Amino acid sequence: MTAWPFETVAEGLRLHVRLTPNASRDAIGGVAMDAEQVAWLTATVTSVPENGRANKALIKMLSKSWKLPKSSIDVRSGATQRRKTLLIAGDGAALAAQLEDWLAQQAPG
């Protein structure tokens, strides 16, 4: 069974992201497991981690890739850290299915 970096909650979907700012390009990577076996979606942005610029770039990239309104994505914890928890507002089950499909399409092979 694949570990997903998200879980459904009453408000929508809680997403765990490990963000690398100051990267050479904006990209959504794959799913990585940490030492505690927690799944994280890896992402890189070219923006600097100052004044929330990297977080804004992350939200813009996710909303464009997943065709969601930027206003539906909010950083709930870890705003100044690499590991962040985001909330995507909406129907959690529908969002989970959409992200599972998207991640499956991104997987090599």
Number of domains observed in the structure of the chain: 1
19 token code pair: 């963000």
Q: pLDDT band for 2, please (50, 70, 90 cuts).
A: low
Residue recorded with tokens 């070219």: 46
Is there a domain that residue 51 lies in?
yes
Q: Is residue 68 part of a domain?
A: yes
Is 60 exceeded by the pLDDT of residue 109? no
83: in domain: yes
CB contact at 8 A, 4 and 39 = yes
pLDDT of residue 104: 86
Q: List the domain range (segments joined by +) for residue 32.
A: 6-106
Residue 70 domain flag: yes
Task: Tell me whether residue 1 is in a domain.
Answer: no
pLDDT in tens, 13-67: 999 999 999 999 999 998 999 888 889 999 999 999 999 999 999 999 999 999 9
The average pLDDT across 2-13 equals 91
pTM above 0.75, yes or no: yes
Q: What is the CATH number of the domain that holds 74?
A: 3.30.1200.10
Give the angle 65-22-103 at the CA atoms, nearest 5°: 30
Query: Can you give the pLDDT at residue 1?
Result: 39
Give the span between the Cα atoms of 67 and 52, in whole angstroms: 22
